[in-house]
Amino acid sequence: MQELFPGTQITIGPNIEDGFFYDIAPQTPLSLEDLPKIEARMREIVDSDAALVREEWARDAAIAHFKSIGEHYKAEIISDLPEGEPISVYRTGDWLDLCRGPHMPSTGKVGKAFKLLKLAGAYWRGDHTNAMLQRIYGTAWRTEEELAAYLHRVEEAEKRDHRRIGKAMDLFHIQEEGKGMIFWHPKGWTLYRTMLAYMRRRIEAVGYVEVKTPQILEQSFWEKSGHWEKFHDSMFVCETDEGEVMAVKPMNCPCHVQIFNHGQRSYRDLPIRMAEFEGLHRCESSGSTHGLLRVRQMSQDDAHIFCADAQIVEESKAFIELLNSVYADFGVELHSVKLALRPDKRFGTDAQWTIAEDQLEEAAHLAGIEVERIANEGAFYGPKLEFHLRDAIGRTWQCGTLQLDYVLPERLDASYIAEDGQKHRPVMLHRAICGSMERFIGVLIEHFAGAFPLWLAPVQVTVATITSDADAYARDVVSQLRAAGLRAEIDVRNEKINYKIREHSLAKVPIIAVVGRKEAEQRTIALRRLGGDAQSILALDDACAVLTKEALAPDEARRAKPDHPA
Partner RNA sequence: GCCGCCAUAGCUCAGCUGGUAGAGCACCUGAUUUGUAAUCAGGGGGUCGGGGGUUCGAGUCCCUCUGGCGGCACCA
Q: Where in 303-322 is the site for RNA (CB under 7 A)?
A: none
Among 37, 41, 423, 496, binds RNA (CB under 7 A): 496
Burial of 207 (0-12, 13-18, 19+ CB in 10 A): exposed
Q: Cβ 181 to RNA, closest distance in Å?
A: 9
Catalytic residue among 9, 134, 300, 403: 300
CA distances in angstroms from 220 to 241, 297, 348, 412, listed in the order given: 17, 23, 20, 12
Please, are residues 260 and 274 in contact by the beta-carbon 8 Å criterion? yes
Strands 9-10 and 461-465: unpaired
Q: Judged by CB, which is closer to RNA: 68, or 286?
A: 286
Q: List all residues 6 or more positions away from 216 whose beta carbon is below 8 Å from its beta carbon.
A: 238, 246, 247, 248, 249
Residue 315's nearest CA partner among 273, 268, 355 is: 273
- Catalytic residue flag (residue 255): no
The tally of CA atoms less than 13 A away on the side-chain side of residue 108 is 5
Contact region for RNA (CB under 7 A) — 108-116, 246-254, 303-311, 409-417? 246-254
Sign of CA dihedral 503, 505, 510, 511: positive
Q: Cβ 504 to RNA, closest distance in Å?
A: 9
Euclidean distance between CA atoms 422 and 401, whole angstroms: 32
Contact region for RNA (CB under 7 A) — 92-100, 312-320, 398-406, 542-550? 398-406
Residue 372's nearest CA partner among 321, 418, 410, 335 is: 335
Burial of 376 (0-12, 13-18, 19+ CB in 10 A): exposed
Q: Judged by CB, which is closer to RNA: 37, or 423?
A: 37
Please, are residues 343 and 309 in contact by the beta-carbon 8 Å criterion? no
Among 213, 215, 261, 289, binds RNA (CB under 7 A): 289
Q: Judged by CB, which is closer to RNA: 254, or 554?
A: 254
- Catalytic residue flag (residue 282): yes
Q: Judged by CB, which is closer to RNA: 132, or 211?
A: 132
Among 82, 263, 287, 565, binds RNA (CB under 7 A): 287
499 is an interface residue for RNA by CB under 7 A: yes
Catalytic residue among 161, 253, 265, 403: 253
Q: Cβ 24 to RNA, closest distance in Å?
A: 11
18 is an interface residue for RNA by CB under 7 A: no
Euclidean distance between CA atoms 77 and 11, whole angstroms: 8
Contact region for RNA (CB under 7 A) — 40-48, 59-67, 132-140, 544-552? 132-140
Contact region for RNA (CB under 7 A) — 50-58, 115-123, 303-311, 414-422? 115-123
Euclidean distance between CA atoms 197 and 469, whole angstroms: 39
Burial of 326 (0-12, 13-18, 19+ CB in 10 A): buried
Binding mask 323-362 vs RNA (x if CB under 7 A, - otherwise)?
-----------------x--x-x-----------------
Among 187, 294, 317, 447, binds RNA (CB under 7 A): 294
Q: Where in 177-236 is the site for RNA (CB under 7 A)?
A: 179-180, 227, 231, 234-235
Please give the size of the binding site for RNA, defined by CB under 7 A.
Answer: 85
Euclidean distance between CA atoms 238 and 111, whole angstroms: 59
Q: Cβ 144 to RNA, closest distance in Å?
A: 23
Q: Judged by CB, which is closer to RNA: 169, or 195?
A: 169
Find the helix or strand (DSSP H, E) in which 538 lies: strand 535-539
Is the previous residue joined to 102 through a cis bond, with omega within 30 degrees of 0? yes
Euclidean distance between CA atoms 181 and 104, whole angstroms: 50
Contact region for RNA (CB under 7 A) — 50-58, 76-84, 421-429, 502-510? 502-510
- Catalytic residue flag (residue 384): yes
Euclidean distance between CA atoms 440 and 332, whole angstroms: 10
Catalytic residue among 346, 430, 439, 487: 430
Q: Where in 21-50 is the site for RNA (CB under 7 A)?
A: 29-32
472 is an interface residue for RNA by CB under 7 A: no
Residue 351's nearest CA partner among 407, 413, 401 is: 407
- Catalytic residue flag (residue 335): no
Q: Cβ 5 to RNA, closest distance in Å?
A: 13
Sign of CA dihedral 251, 331, 507, 493: negative
Q: Cβ 497 to RNA, closest distance in Å?
A: 4
495 is an interface residue for RNA by CB under 7 A: yes
Q: Cβ 346 to RNA, closest distance in Å?
A: 10
Q: Cβ 380 to RNA, closest distance in Å?
A: 6
526 is an interface residue for RNA by CB under 7 A: yes
Q: Judged by CB, which is closer to RNA: 367, or 470?
A: 470
Q: In the 8-state DSSP scheme, what is residue 318? A: H
Contact region for RNA (CB under 7 A) — 158-166, 416-424, 483-491, 547-555? 158-166
Q: What is the torsion angle, in degrees rounded to the nearest 10, for the CA atoms of residue 530, residue 291, residue 151 and residue 49?
A: -160
Q: Cβ 266 to RNA, closest distance in Å?
A: 28
Among 203, 247, 251, 270, binds RNA (CB under 7 A): 251
Single-letter residue type at 421: G
Q: Cβ 365 to RNA, closest distance in Å?
A: 22
- Catalytic residue flag (residue 430): yes
Q: Judged by CB, which is closer to RNA: 135, or 273?
A: 135
Q: List all residues 6 or more positions away from 437 whose beta carbon is below 8 Å from its beta carbon.
A: 192, 195, 196, 277, 298, 299, 300, 301
- Catalytic residue flag (residue 227): no
Among 316, 401, 460, 462, binds RNA (CB under 7 A): 401
Residue 544's nearest CA partner among 461, 467, 429, 472 is: 461
Catalytic residue among 302, 391, 405, 491: 302
Q: Where in 545-564 is the site for RNA (CB under 7 A)?
A: none
Contact region for RNA (CB under 7 A) — 74-82, 91-99, 124-132, 191-199? 124-132
- Catalytic residue flag (residue 304): yes
Query: Phi and psi of 255, rounded to 5°?
Result: -65, -40
DSSP result, 342-389: --SS--S-HHHHHHHHHHHHHHHHHTT---EEETT-SBTTB-EEEEEE
- Active-site positions read 253, 282, 300, 302, 304, 384, 430
